[in-house]
């Protein structure tokens, strides 16, 4: 399941792939959040 704005997630994945050479699956590896608190809560909820 993709989280966040679909366009933003796709662009971030492409940029990460371009700069690092790492394969990034936007559906599995990226979560776009509004801020650090939301990101921390999302990380804690999946641990």
Please give the pLDDT value at position 18.
Answer: 96
CB 27 within 8 A of CB 3: no
| pTM check: above 0.75 | no
Residues with Cβ within 8 Å of residue 26, at least 6 apart in sequence: 2, 9, 10, 12, 13
pLDDT grade for 1, boundaries at 50, 70 and 90: low
Give tens-digit pLDDT for 2-47: 666 788 888 999 999 999 999 999 888 888 888 899 889 888 988 7
| Distance, CA of 5 to chain centre | 10
CA-based Rg of the chain, rounded to a whole angstrom?
11
């Amino acid at each position: 399941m993709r989280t966040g704005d679909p366009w933003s997630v796709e662009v971030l994945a492409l940029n990460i792939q371009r700069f690092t050479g790492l394969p990034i699956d936007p559906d599995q590896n990226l979560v776009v959040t509004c801020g650090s608190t939301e990101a921390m809560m999302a990380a804690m909820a999946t641990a």
